[in-house]
Structure 1
Amino acid sequence: MEFVKDYFPPKLIHRYIFSEFFKTFIGSLIMLTGILLISVLMDNMKTFVASQQKPYHIALFLLYSIPKMLVVVASPSLMFSVCFVVGQFSVNKELVSIMAAGVSFYRSVSTLIFFGFFMWFFIIFFSEFIMRPSNKMAANEQAIILKGIGNKTDLVYQLHIRGAEGFYYVYWYDNEQKKIRGGFNYIKINNENMPELVISANSALYTESTHSWKMEQVEEIIFDDKLSVKSFKTYPEKVYTLPENADYFAKPVKTADQMNFFELNEEIKIRKNKGMPYGELEVERQSIFANPMMCLIVVVIGAISGTFTKRSAGISSLAITIGIVILYYVLFSAFRSLGENGGIPPFIAVWFTPTLFSLICAYMIKKFNL
C-alpha cells in the first residue's frame, strides 16, 4: 500500500517528466514511421507504376503496412525519447535540482520505466491482434497489385513432404487449378518401412468429386519384398487414388509473420506431420514474447545513458540510440537466422539477445549508483 501511495496518483515531478517524454515519443514515432513508409513507397515504386490495378489497392497496401512499421520503430522511438528527455534535464541542471531535493534518480524516472514495462505487454497484444492480421491484408493487396505484371505468387517450388503412406516430391503446385506441374514423384512405404511402389509423372491433376489424381506421362514401378523390381510400366495417362488431396500440397495461407500464437502452434503441428521444416515458425512463436521486451530494456539503458549527456542532448541521444539499436538488431538477427536454420535451439536463438541486454541493464543499474 505504501508503494501505491508513493506513485499513485503521480506526483507533479513525475507528470512533468512524463509529459515531456510522451510528446517526444509520439513525435519520434510519427517521424520514424513516416520514414519507413516513404522507404516502402520508393522500393515498390516501379511495381506500383507497372500495376494495372486501381490505385486504391496501393493505398490499402501502404495503410495495412503501417502497424508493422509502428512495431519496428516503437523501441528506437522509446530509447531516443527517454535518452533525450533525461539528457535535456541533465544539461539544464533540472535533474541535479530534483536529486538535491531528495528525490532519487530512479524514482524521478519511474513513470518512464513503468511506461516501458507497459509497452512490453502492449506491443505483444498489438502485434497479435492488429499487426499480424494487417500483415495478411497487406500481402493480399500486394498480390492484387502484382497481378498482370508477370509475377506469380501462388506457386510452391520443389516441395518434398511426407504423406500418410509415403513421401511426395513435386516440382510446383498450381493453387488455382489444383494441379502439380513439372514433375510428380511418389514413393509408397510398406509396414516394414520399405518402398513398394514408385510413381513418377509429368503432371497430376486432382479431381474433387472422385478424390483421385489424373496423371500424365506416368512411370510406375512395383517392388517385391526383396526390393526387386516386380513390375515396370509406363502410361500416357492414369488415374490414382492417394491418401492426400490437393490442399495437402498448397502453401500455407499465411506466412509466419501473419500468424498469431495459436495459428503458429497449429501450423507447427501440420508441418511436423508432413515432415517439413518448421524452425522459422518456432522462432517466430518465441519472438512474440521476446521482441517486445526490448521496449523495457531501451528505456532503462536510455535513462541511465541520458544522465551522462554533457552538451547537446539531441545529438548525444541520437548517437546512443543508433548505436544500441543497431547492436541489438544485428545480434538478434544473427541468432534468429541460426535458429531458423537449425544451428541453435529456437529458444536460445530468440532469448539470447534480450537476456544479454537485460544483464547489461542490471550491470548499469549496479555500476552507476544514481
Structure 2
Amino acid sequence: MKIIDKYILKRYLATFSVMLLMFIPIGITIDVSEKVNKMIEKKIPLADILVYYGDFTVYFANLLFPIFLFLSIIWFTSKLANNTEIIAILSSGISFSRFLRPFIYGAVIVSIFALLMGFFLVPKASKGFNDFRYENLKGNNKTRETSDIFRQINKAGKLEENIYVSNYNYMSQTGFNFTFEKFNNEKLIEKVTANRIRYNDKTKRYTLYGYNKRTIGEVNDQIQTIDKIDLAYNFEPDDLTPVIYVAETMTIGQLNQFINKERARGNGNINTYLVVFYKKFSLPISAFILTIIAVAVSSMKRRGGMGINLAIGIVIAFTFIFFDKVFGTLAEKSSIPPFLAVWFPNIVFGILAVYLLRNAKR
C-alpha cells in the first residue's frame, strides 16, 4: 500500500469515526430530553438507564450507518478537492480508478465491521433497547393482543398438529374460539374446540372452557364434551404473540432457525422477519455503493465549495434511507417479495453509482 493509499484510508476511517462521535451524543441528548420525565416518574435506577444508553448507542449507530458513512466521505473528499489535492493526484498520472482504490479498502473494512455487528452485537443491543422502551416508557409489553392466530405446533412424519385462536390477550393469557386439529397423512383424525383457553404459569398447562373433542373413526365419531378441563399442549404463549421486534433481537443463526420455524407454522408475518434477515446482508453492501457515489459527487471542486457537496450528499443519503424504509414497509404489508424490496435501494443506487463514476472519470 502506497503513501497516498494510507493517507486517504486514514482520513476515510478517521472522519467516519469522528462523525459517529459527533452525532451519537446528539442523539442521546435528544432521547434524554424526550424521556427524562418518564424516567424520573417511574424512578428507573441509574444503572438501568446507563445500560439502556449503551444499547441505544449501538442501535442508533447501526440505524443511521449509511448517513454517517456517506456524509463523512463527502466531507473529507470535498476538503481534498477544495485544497486541490485531488487535482494534484490526478495530474501526477494516477487514474481516477486508482484514486478510488483506498476508498474501496475503507469500504471493505467498514462493511466487515457492519456485517459482524449486524450478526452478533446489534441483536443484543436491539433487545435491550426495545425491552427498556416497552417495559418502562411505553407500558408493559405484555399488554399486547393479537387476533386470527394460526400455528402448526407439531409435525412428525405423517402426523401434523395445528391450532387456531380468534383472539389472544397476553396480559390475561387468555384466548377465545380455540381450535386444535390433528392430522395423519393429511387426514383429520381429531378435532378439539373450546370457547375459551387460558394458560397457567404454575402448572404450564392450559385450561379449556366449553371443551368439545371429536375423534374421527372409520365408521363412527366419538364426541366428548366437558365444561372445564386442564390439558398440556406443545406451544407456549410467546408462540402466539411474538413481539414485533423479535427478529431484531436474534443473531443470524437464531433468526434463520426462527424464520424456518414460523414458516412451517404458517405465520402470516413471515415477511417482517425476512426483511430483517435480508437487511443484515444488504446494509454492508450499501457501504460500497455509497462510497462510490460520495467520491464521484465530491471529488470535483465546485464554485459553491463544500456546502454544495454536502447539500447534494444530504439529499442523496436521505433519499436512500427513504427508499430503504418505504420498500421495507411494502414488503411487510404487501405481496412484494422481501428479497427484492430490501435489495431494491441498493440496485437503484448501484446504477446511480456507475453513472456518476463514469462522469467523474471524464
TM-score category (smaller protein): 0.7 to 0.9
| Structure 1 residue 356 displacement after superposition | 1.9
**Matched residues, percent identical?**
18
Point out the more displaced range, 293-302 or 357-366: 357-366
Say whether residues 1:153 and 2:142 are aligned partners.
yes
Cα gap change, 1:30/1:242 in structure 2, threshold over 3 Å: closer, same or farther? closer
Alignment partners' CA distance in 1, 2:162 and 2:64: 47
**Residue in 2 aligned with 1:4?**
none
Say whether residues 1:279 and 2:284 are aligned partners.
no
| Structure 1 residue 284 displacement after superposition | 1.4
Say whether residues 1:349 and 2:326 are aligned partners.
no
Aligned amino acid, residue 213 of structure 1: Y
Q: 1:319 aligns with which of 311, 317, 320?
A: 311
Matches within 5 A, 1:191-230: 191=184, 193-194=187-188, 197-206=191-200, 212-216=205-209, 218-220=210-212, 222=214
Q: Is the 8 A contact 2:150 2:162 kept in 1?
A: no
Cα gap change, 1:311/1:20 in structure 2, threshold over 3 Å: closer, same or farther? farther
Q: Is the 8 A contact 2:73 2:291 kept in 1?
A: yes
Cα gap change, 1:368/1:31 in structure 2, threshold over 3 Å: closer, same or farther? same
Q: 1:310 aligns with which of 295, 302, 310?
A: 302
Alignment partners' CA distance in 2, 1:188 and 1:22: 58
**Residue in 1 aligned with 2:168?**
172
Q: Is the 8 A contact 1:279 1:342 kept in 2?
A: no
**Residue in 2 aligned with 1:97?**
88
Q: Is the 8 A contact 1:86 1:307 kept in 2?
A: yes
Matches within 5 A, 1:289-308: 289-308=281-300
Q: Is the 8 A contact 2:189 2:217 kept in 1?
A: no
Say whether residues 1:14 and 2:5 are aligned partners.
yes
Aligned amino acid, residue 162 of structure 1: Q
TM-score by length of 2: 0.83
| Structure 1 residue 69 displacement after superposition | 1.6
Matches within 5 A, 1:127-166: 127-142=118-133, 145-146=136-137, 150-153=139-142, 155-158=144-147, 159-164=149-154, 165-166=161-162
- Measured on the aligned residues, the alpha-carbon RMSD in Å equals 3.2
**Residue in 2 aligned with 1:54?**
45
Point out the more displaced range, 271-280 or 159-168: 159-168
Cα gap change, 1:316/1:207 in structure 2, threshold over 3 Å: closer, same or farther? closer
Secondary structure of the 1:161 match is: strand
Matches within 5 A, 1:245-284: 248-249=239-240, 251=242, 255-277=246-268, 278-284=270-276
**Residue in 2 aligned with 1:3?**
none
TM-score by length of 1: 0.82
**Residue in 1 aligned with 2:97?**
106
Secondary structure of the 1:188 match is: strand
Matches within 5 A, 1:320-335: 320-335=312-327
Secondary structure of the 1:275 match is: coil
Aligned amino acid, residue 197 of structure 1: K
Alignment partners' CA distance in 2, 1:68 and 1:313: 33
